[in-house]
């Protein structure tokens, strides 16, 4: 892929070492110029860690302390790796292109391409993505007679992934988990899954890490080669490494001990992917001679935003002390909006984005809306469309996951790996050629009887018992794939074009509704264009397999970015809106009873807050529909951890209980050390104030004794008529038909509602 760098601007002369230090802060300078032994850079959000990492690499090259081929730099996204390489090339010249700058998975794949045969894999092995893994597991479940609804492929995949990251193969997993029925089933699936991958000559993402570590540990000559080569090992986002990744880094840096890691324990948010924050927290203990540099000066956000983020993250116990500051502007207050439900929240978000564009001059591509789970995007999307706000969902459906793109790529993968079962099953009858479920079952039976890979079964169609249309279809398929395999491997774009044309994909798409057909053909054209950027078909297939969600972000798209808070990691925007700040939503329900999970949720909140440069808006809803049921919601404890002086409540009518707390000069909605609840209140009732936990406050509307037909007045919605009442105490709810605002379902304890006329009058 070296041709990708041809257009980069390379300096007429490489930067001098002193020039690389001149515009840095003192802590940044110390990190860049450090020599001799391990280095830990604790880099707070927006503190210039990417600059420090790239300058450190450039400084090593400029001083001659390392040659380009001796440097291994690990990042967590392909986009970050490309950006890091580009910056270093701009600083010190094209020789820097010989560095290894890659993600963990890309680096491991590179090692395995030249060594996987030592583990029993054939050259050209496939890399199964998440969908391939789940489809394989689902097929295996059906073969074993398991109920895929009760034991979902997604859950099984997660369990297998966790086992691999813990260093457990199928046999050790069964031994460790014992005879518990669910564990036995997962263990059986795990064993069958490992066998299926081996037969298909394929690895999943976890295998790339596990197998690279295995071959380097097992093969002394290979280990010595890489340990000798990599005189400098640098790792970005070290707080997100798992145990296998930590072992890999330690192994590769064992000879020279020139290991530099950069990260921030406060931004460790991938525990569900087996990330272990202890890797960074214990680094100085494991390397007693390590130098530790702390970067606290923030170059991204206003001080108001930083103060809000600092106040939230300081609630996590056991974290190393660190407080972000900036020499920039104080900035506007954090805006808070309290919505009646998710629809009102979404309408406010749409209006807020329009306001930011009109009043603050923020471009749409500099705005982002964050939410805790993907399911929350639906209502937001509908209201943004209604308001005419252009948006793009990041990590919704990836480009490479679109059906027509996935099919074309499956053909390409089958060209490279003739044992790839997942790809073979996808394209065998796509487009239709008479190879339906019955024909595929016969092919699978033949493969099982002969011990051959399923992907090779079509070439033995007569022996497998196929006849008539199915046999003709198998012969047509084999002729197609054989022809594609004869294609020049150095022409990936030509291969994609041939696949689209010769497989019948383009003809099939042409039968669709014109607009849909045009869109799908454009997608395939974009795929061919993407393939043209690579030197070989194998290079292209490998790169596609490792594309991350955040790599989809296009800053020139002119649209607002919608994404989960996890995807937002590593990004920044002029304006950020964080939605759904409610207990059991954010923090997530499963974290409420697990202190470790709750700490990670708080770190996730900290990450979201620190993505904003100048404008930060937080929203919550008093009620939200979940699984078709309207559920009362309580404001997130994270809202309560932001000091009141930093906040401007822009709700049309702030709930009385917020005003009460503000008058007491307490942080709004601040949770105490324990959660109190009134005798008739719901579990986990919201508590305000500090110190001893007082009873939850309410507006008092639940004590009005309202009845259907009665006239009431809402501070925001105006006058209305009670339609229905239900529940008692803090659980009391009422449905009210407002004269102008329509019908609303209200949690009375949370609603600024009074009886019309101010007295105890009721409509006769």
Closest by Cα among 630, 732, 753, 637 to 343: 630
- ω into 431 cis (within 30 of 0): yes
Of 315, 433, 442, 611, catalytic: 611
**Which residues lie below 8 Å from residue 166, measured CB to CB, with a gap of 6+?**
243, 274
- Would residue 515 show up in a list of annotated catalytic residues for this protein? no
Token representation of residue 739: 């004269």
CA-to-CA dists, residue 577 to 256, 336, 373, 525, 567, angstroms? 46, 10, 15, 35, 14
Tallying the residues shown for the chain, one arrives at 764
Phi-psi region of 64 (alpha: psi -120 to 50; beta: other; left: phi over 0): left
Active-site entry in 237, 383, 420, 600 = 237
Asked if 611 is an active-site residue, the reply is yes
* Catalytic, out of 49, 139, 347, 569: 49
Burial 379-403 (b: 16+ CB within 10 A, else e): bbbebbeeeebebbbbbeebebebe
* Active-site position among 75, 267, 376, 407: 267
**DSSP count for the chain of H helices, then E strands:** 28, 22
- Output the DSSP codes for 149-182: TTS-HHHHHHHHHHHHHTT--HHHHHHHHTT-HH
| β-strand pairing of 71-75 with 291-295 | unpaired
Reduced to 3 states, what is the DSSP secondary structure of residue 28?
Answer: helix
Record the tokens describing residue 439, joined without a space: 């024909």
Do residues 408 and 495 lie in contact, with contact meaning Cβ atoms separated by under 8 Å? no
Beta-strand (E) ranges in 351-457? 367-371, 391-393
694 phi, psi to nearest 5 deg: -80, 175
What is the DSSP pairing of strand 733-738 with strand 718-726?
Answer: antiparallel
Separation between Cα atoms, residue 433 and residue 430, nearest integer Å = 7
Cα 351 to chain centroid distance, Å, stands at 27
- Residue whose tokens read 């601007």: 9
- Three-state DSSP at 184 gives helix
The residue assigned the tokens 């930093």 is 646
Handedness of CA 664, 670, 672, 678 (dihedral sign): positive
CA angle 187, 188, 193 (to 5 degrees): 95
Choosing from 129, 132, 204, 236, the catalytic residue is 236
- Name the CA dihedral angle for 673, 678, 679, 681, rounded to a multiple of 10 degrees: -110
Long-range contacts of 499-502 (CB under 8 A, 24+ apart): 499/408, 499/411, 499/412, 500/408, 500/524, 500/528
How far, in Å, CA of 650 to CA of 335, rounded? 6
DSSP string, 721-755: EEEEEE--GGG-EEEEEETTTEEEEEEGGG--EEE
Q: Is 303 a known active-site residue?
A: no
How do strand 560-564 and strand 367-371 relate by DSSP bridges? parallel
Q: How far is CA 210 from CA 216, 241, 242, 623, 722, in A?
A: 10, 13, 11, 45, 63
Q: Residue 18 contacts by C-beta under 8 Å, 6 or more apart in sequence? A: none
50 is catalytic: yes
- Report residue 621: phi and psi, to 5°: -120, 145
Residue identified by tokens 């500099």 is 366
Catalytic residues: 49-50, 236-237, 267, 611
């Amino acid at each position: 892929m070296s041709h990708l760098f041809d257009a980069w601007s390379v300096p007429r002369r490489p930067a001098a070492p002193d020039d690389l230090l001149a515009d840095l802060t003192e802590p940044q300078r110390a990190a860049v110029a450090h020599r001799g032994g391990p280095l830990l850079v604790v880099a707070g959000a927006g503190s210039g860690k990417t600059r420090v990492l790239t300058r450190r690499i450039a400084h090593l090259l400029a001083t001659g302390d390392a040659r380009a081929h001796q440097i291994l730099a690990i990042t967590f996204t392909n986009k970050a790796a490309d950006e890091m390489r580009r910056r270093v090339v701009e600083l010190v010249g094209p020789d820097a292109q010989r560095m290894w700058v890659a993600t963990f998975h890309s680096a491991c794949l590179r090692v395995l391409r030249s060594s996987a045969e030592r583990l029993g894999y054939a050259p050209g092995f496939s890399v199964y993505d998440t969908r391939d893994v789940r489809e394989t597991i689902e097929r295996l479940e059906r073969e074993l007679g398991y109920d895929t609804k009760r034991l979902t492929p997604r859950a099984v995949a997660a369990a297998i992934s966790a086992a691999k990251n813990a260093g457990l193969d199928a046999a050790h997993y069964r031994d460790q988990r014992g005879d518990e029925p669910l564990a036995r089933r997962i263990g059986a699936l795990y064993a069958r899954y490992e066998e299926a991958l081996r037969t298909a000559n394929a690895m999943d993402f976890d295998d790339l890490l596990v197998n690279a570590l295995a071959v380097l540990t097992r093969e002394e000559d290979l280990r010595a080669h890489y340990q000798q080569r990599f005189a400098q090992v640098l790792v970005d986002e070290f707080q997100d490494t798992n145990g296998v990744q930590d072992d890999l880094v330690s192994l590769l840096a064992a000879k020279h001990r020139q290991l530099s890691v950069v990260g921030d324990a406060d931004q460790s948010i991938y525990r569900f992917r087996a990330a272990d924050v202890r890797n960074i927290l214990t680094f100085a203990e494991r390397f007693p001679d390590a130098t530790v540099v702390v970067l606290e000066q923030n170059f991204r956000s206003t001080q108001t935003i930083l103060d809000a983020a600092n106040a939230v993250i300081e609630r996590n116990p056991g974290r190393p002390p660190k407080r972000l500051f900036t020499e920039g502007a104080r900035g506007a207050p954090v805006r808070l909006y309290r919505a009646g439900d998710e629809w009102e929240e979404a309408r406010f978000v749409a209006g807020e984005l329009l306001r930011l564009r009109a009043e603050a001059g923020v471009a749409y591509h500099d705005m982002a809306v964050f939410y805790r789970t993907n399911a929350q995007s639906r209502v937001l999307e509908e209201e943004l469309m209604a308001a005419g706000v252009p948006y793009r969902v990041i990590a919704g459906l990836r480009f490479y996951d679109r059906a027509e793109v996935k099919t074309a790529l499956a053909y390409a993968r089958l060209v490279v790996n003739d044992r790839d079962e997942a790809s073979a099953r996808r394209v065998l009858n796509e487009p239709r050629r008479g190879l339906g479920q019955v024909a595929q079952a016969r092919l699978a039976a033949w493969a099982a009887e002969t011990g051959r890979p399923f992907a090779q079964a079509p070439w033995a169609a007569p022996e497998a018992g196929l006849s008539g249309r199915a046999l003709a279809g198998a012969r047509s398929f084999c002729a197609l794939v054989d022809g594609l395999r004869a294609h020049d491997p150095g022409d990936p774009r030509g291969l994609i074009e041939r696949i689209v044309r010769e497989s019948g994909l383009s003809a099939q798409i042409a039968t669709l509704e014109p607009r849909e057909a045009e869109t799908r053909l454009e997608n395939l054209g974009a795929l061919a264009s993407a393939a043209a950027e690579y030197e070989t078909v194998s290079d292209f297939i490998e790169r596609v397999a490792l594309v991350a969600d955040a790599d989809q972000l296009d800053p020139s798209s002119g649209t607002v970015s919608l994404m989960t808070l996890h995807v937002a990691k590593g990004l920044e925007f002029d304006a950020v809106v964080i939605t759904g700040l409610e207990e059991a939503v954010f923090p997530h329900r499963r974290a409420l009873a697990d202190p470790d999970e709750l700490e990670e949720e708080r770190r996730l909140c900290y990450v979201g807050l620190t993505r904003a440069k100048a404008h930060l808006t937080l929203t919550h809803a008093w009620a939200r529909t979940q699984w078709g049921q309207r559920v009362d919601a309580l404001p997130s404890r994270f809202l309560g951890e932001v000091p009141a002086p930093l906040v401007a409540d822009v709700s049309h009518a702030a709930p009385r209980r917020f005003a009460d707390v503000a008058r007491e000069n307490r942080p709004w909605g601040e949770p105490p050390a324990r959660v109190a609840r009134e005798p008739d209140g719901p579990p986990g009732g919201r508590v305000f104030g500090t110190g001893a936990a007082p009873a939850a406050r309410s507006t008092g509307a639940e004590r009005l004794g309202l009845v259907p037909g009665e006239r009431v007045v809402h501070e925001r919605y105006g006058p209305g008529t009670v339609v229905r009442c239900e529940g008692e105490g803090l659980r009391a709810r009422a449905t009210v038909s407002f004269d102008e605002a329509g019908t609303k379902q209200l949690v009375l304890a949370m609603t600024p509602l009074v009886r019309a006329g101010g007295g105890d009058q009721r409509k006769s």
